[in-house]
């Protein structure tokens, strides 16, 4: 219902919603009309030919044979006061030298205040988003930061804070004036923050125990870092968090100074500092009702950046968004649906930057094109439209996009295959941090030597590169249940055994290895089998993840495709899912699958490959896409290790 209500606010005549933008010379009706036209995607002629107040006053000076038009408003994000220019210059300097000039040009003229940063995984998109967020704060004021998932919001908040601290420290070391950090708040529900603060004190800093849980097994996604609880502990000078310094935000320092001198908070200060026991604190009964909640609100109101999910902008933090937000930053916008963006952005054309990649996971649509209820009515008549993200939509409208061109995370060679197949040969470069001679790629070099030595027929990677290896499981069997879910025990065991070799033979720590699988059934099987004594050395390995979640990058990834020639590739051939799976590794990547899964078991009359549906027995045509291109490239490069399974 929240998303429906957000869309309704774009109806002509609706009240303003979300952040209240302040565009000089434009009325609220003007900015709402522009925002409505933007989401319609049919151009801005209606608004540009409409007479504004200034145009009406100047009508007498216009020629009757030439219609007047209004120019679209544009935002210069670099138009800051002179005293703020060193800060902005220092932020721009954090970008790659080759990107700085074009970034300045891009930021200096953004029609409608709308900007987009597009990049593949590992290209530094979130770093540029952090730079833009900090510049937006200096130029405009409070910045609302959001993303479609909690982990993406966490990542964005962390990156803004890292950039914030680094740039401020560098400016203060250089001299020429005192610079203060901006305040970043990662917001969660008020009730969760209050419960977490109390539990942090009760558990004396055990963050895991402090995480609020209000239902059996419910994970609130709460975390301590940059949360309201974190800042509340900081203003009470708690030893459980890093102490505030003179470089911190002047607003949070003022709150701490006020807390220090308030008599009604003396007992709480002593309890937080560990000077009195819990029993002594409650016996004193000195804390008035609502005092903590009032302090929490002061902390939120002091934030320069509020980082929350779109849903939170309509509940606990609606007041902050309405009163303080003057810019909006959206990360992973390629995975967000448009109603979610409407929820956070509002309908008043607040300056906004979107970051993401349209070639990674699209918005989730849970209903299919032909799904019907018991009465035969379609659940969703527009599922394909729902899968179009705002980033893809605005790109299609022709809005200029700032594209990142340099890979920073992955070892040289790991991204080549993805660039050639999924990004269709798009121009890119490896940065100096990707040179495989770096010590951080030592384990990748060891894995390369081990695979070439152990498996006959596997050719070494090209010079100065580390490329993925395909473990081709010959004879693999895939079980398909009545719902079409696929499970492949053979490939799961091969993947777990490979992870075991990495740990026991190459001495690679288990926490640096992640197993990924497109099918959730294979993830469940991985987690079940690894509990056995055989795989005890893998106890520190992160939980396996499937392709609908965005896993954090790790040094090694082992991808269990879970398909075979008999059943075909299924949705493992989806380029966006593949993109996520193939871009999580830093040092080394192994794909466990069947190299013939895209070939089919037969051909139809037109020569297209076919497979037999295990449930109906019918022959179905294979839709062969990007996965076959990937397998063909790996075969041509000699990067296929053959493993025979189910043989006596």
Identify the CATH number of the domain in which residue 638 sits: 3.40.50.300
Residues 6+ apart with CB under 8 A from 623: 573
- Size of the chain, expressed as the number of residues it contains: 648
User: Among residues 301, 322, 351, which one ends one of the domains?
Assistant: 301
User: Among residues 403, 433, 454, which one ends one of the domains?
Assistant: 403
- Which residue has better confidence, 287 or 400? 400
Three-state secondary structure call for residue 124:
coil
Q: Do residues 384 and 413 both lie within one domain?
A: no
Q: What is the arithmetic mean of pLDDT over 199-205?
A: 73
Residues 6+ apart with CB under 8 A from 55: 68, 70
Q: 633 lies in a domain?
A: yes
Torsion-angle region of 357 (φ positive above 0: left; ψ -120 to 50: alpha; else: beta):
beta
Using one digit for the tens of pLDDT, what is the confidence trace for 478-537? 998 877 788 999 999 999 999 999 999 999 999 999 999 999 999 999 999 999 999 999
Q: Do residues 552 and 488 both lie within one domain?
A: yes
Give, to the nearest 10 degrees, the angle between helix 125-140 and helix 150-174: 70
Question: Residue 161 above 70 pLDDT?
Answer: yes
Q: Do residues 566 and 589 both lie within one domain?
A: yes
Q: Do residues 504 and 442 both lie within one domain?
A: yes
| Measured CA distances, 216 to 86, 212, 219 (Å) | 51, 11, 9
Distance, in Å, from the CA atom of 300 to the CA atom of 294, rounded to the nearest integer, reads 10
In terms of residue numbers, what domain contains 363? Answer: 75-182+304-403
Q: Do residues 465 and 511 both lie within one domain?
A: yes
Q: Do residues 115 and 219 both lie within one domain?
A: no
Q: 70 lies in a domain?
A: no
- Which residue has better confidence, 346 or 58? 346
Using one digit for the tens of pLDDT, what is the confidence trace for 97-139? 999 999 999 999 999 999 999 999 999 999 999 999 999 999 9
Q: Do residues 426 and 391 both lie within one domain?
A: no
- Which residue has better confidence, 405 or 18? 405
Q: Do residues 575 and 466 both lie within one domain?
A: yes
pLDDT attached to residue 181: 97
Question: Residue 473 above 70 pLDDT?
Answer: yes
Q: Do residues 369 and 461 both lie within one domain?
A: no
pLDDT attached to residue 606: 53
Cross-strand partners of 514:
557
Q: 23 lies in a domain?
A: no
User: What is the residue-averaged pLDDT of the chain?
Assistant: 89
Q: 615 lies in a domain?
A: yes
Contact of 609 with 628, CB cutoff 8 Å: no
Q: What is the pTM of this model?
A: 0.90
Q: 57 lies in a domain?
A: no
**Could you give the angle at the alpha carbon of 265 between the alpha carbons of 260 and 266, nearest 5°?**
75
Residues 6+ apart with CB under 8 A from 209: 199, 203
Q: Do residues 238 and 384 both lie within one domain?
A: no
User: Among residues 301, 332, 349, which one ends one of the domains?
Assistant: 301
Structural domain count, the chain? 3
Q: 63 lies in a domain?
A: no
Q: What is the arithmetic mean of pLDDT over 26-48?
A: 93
Q: Do residues 465 and 582 both lie within one domain?
A: yes
Q: What is the arithmetic mean of pLDDT over 63-91?
A: 87
Q: 230 lies in a domain?
A: yes
Q: Do residues 441 and 588 both lie within one domain?
A: yes
Question: Residue 55 above 60 pLDDT?
Answer: no
Q: 15 lies in a domain?
A: no
In order, the DSSP letters of 62-96 are S-TTS---PPPPEE-TT---GGGHHHHHHHHTTS-
pLDDT attached to residue 200: 81
- Percent share of the chain, pLDDT over 90: 66
pLDDT attached to residue 115: 98
């Amino acid at each position: 219902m929240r998303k429906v209500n957000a869309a309704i606010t774009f109806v002509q005549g609706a009240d303003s919603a979300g952040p209240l933008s302040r565009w000089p010379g434009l009325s609220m009706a003007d900015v709402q009309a522009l925002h409505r036209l933007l989401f319609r995607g049919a151009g801005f002629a209606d608004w540009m030919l409409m007479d504004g107040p200034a145009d009406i006053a100047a009508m007498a000076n216009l020629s009757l044979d030439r219609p007047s038009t209004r120019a679209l408003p544009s935002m210069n994000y670099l138009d800051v006061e002179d005293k703020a220019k060193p800060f902005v210059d220092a932020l721009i300097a954090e970008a790659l030298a080759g990107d700085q000039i074009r970034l300045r040009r891009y930021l200096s003229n953004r029609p409608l205040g709308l900007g987009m940063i597009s990049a593949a995984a590992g290209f530094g998109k979130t770093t540029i988003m952090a730079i833009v967020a900090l510049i937006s704060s200096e130029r405009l004021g409070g910045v609302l930061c959001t993303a479609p998932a909690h982990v993406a919001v966490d990542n964005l908040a962390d990156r803004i804070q890292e950039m914030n601290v680094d740039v401020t420290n560098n400016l203060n070391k250089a001299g020429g004036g005192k610079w203060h950090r901006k305040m970043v708040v990662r917001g969660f529900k008020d009730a969760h923050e209050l419960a977490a603060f109390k539990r942090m004190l009760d558990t004396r800093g055990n963050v895991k125990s402090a995480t609020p849980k209000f239902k059996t097994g419910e994970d609130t996604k709460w975390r301590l870092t940059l949360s309201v609880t974190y800042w509340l502990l900081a203003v009470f000078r708690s030893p459980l968090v890093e102490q505030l310094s003179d470089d911190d935000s002047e607003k949070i320092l003022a709150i701490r100074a006020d807390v220090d001198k308030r008599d009604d908070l003396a007992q709480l200060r002593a309890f937080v500092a560990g000077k009195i026991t819990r029993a002594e604190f409650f016996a004193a009964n000195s804390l008035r009702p609502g005092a903590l909640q009032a302090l929490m609100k002061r902390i939120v109101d002091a934030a320069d950046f509020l980082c929350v999910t779109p849903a939170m902008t309509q509940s606990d933090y609606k007041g902050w968004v309405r009163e303080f937000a003057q810019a909006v930053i959206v990360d992973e916008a390629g995975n967000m649906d448009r109603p979610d963006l409407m929820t956070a952005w509002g309908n008043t054309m607040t300056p906004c930057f979107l970051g993401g990649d349209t070639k990674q996971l699209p918005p989730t649509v849970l209903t299919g094109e032909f799904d019907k209820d018991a009465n035969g009515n379609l659940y969703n008549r527009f599922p394909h439209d729902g899968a179009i993200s705002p980033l893809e939509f605005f790109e299609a409208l022709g809005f200029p996009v700032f594209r990142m061109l340099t890979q920073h995370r992955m070892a040289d060679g790991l991204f080549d295959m993805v660039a050639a197949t999924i990004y269709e040969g798009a121009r890119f470069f490896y940065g100096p941090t990707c040179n495989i001679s770096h010590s951080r790629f030592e384990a990748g070099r060891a894995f390369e030597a081990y695979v070439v030595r152990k498996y006959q027929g596997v050719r070494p990677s090209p010079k100065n590169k580390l490329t993925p290896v395909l473990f081709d499981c010959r004879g693999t069997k895939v079980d398909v249940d009545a719902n079409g879910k696929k499970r492949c025990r053979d490939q799961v065991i091969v993947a777990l055994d490979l992870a075991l070799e990495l740990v026991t033979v190459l001495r690679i720590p288990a926490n640096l290895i992640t197993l990924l699988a497109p099918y959730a059934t294979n993830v469940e099987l991985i987690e079940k089998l690894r509990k056995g004594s055989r795989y005890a050395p893998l106890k520190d390995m992160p939980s396996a993840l499937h392709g609908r979640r965005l896993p954090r990058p790790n040094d090694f990834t082992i991808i269990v495709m879970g398909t075979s020639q008999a059943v075909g590739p299924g949705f493992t051939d989806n380029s966006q899912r593949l993109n996520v799976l193939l871009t999580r590794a830093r040092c080394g990547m192994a794909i466990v699958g069947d190299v013939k899964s895209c070939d089919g078991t037969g051909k139809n009359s037109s020569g297209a490959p076919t497979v037999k549906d295990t449930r109906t027995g019918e022959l179905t045509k294979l839709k062969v896409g990007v996965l076959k291109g990937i397998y063909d490239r790996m075969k041509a490069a000699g990067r296929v290790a053959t493993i025979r399974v189910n043989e006596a």
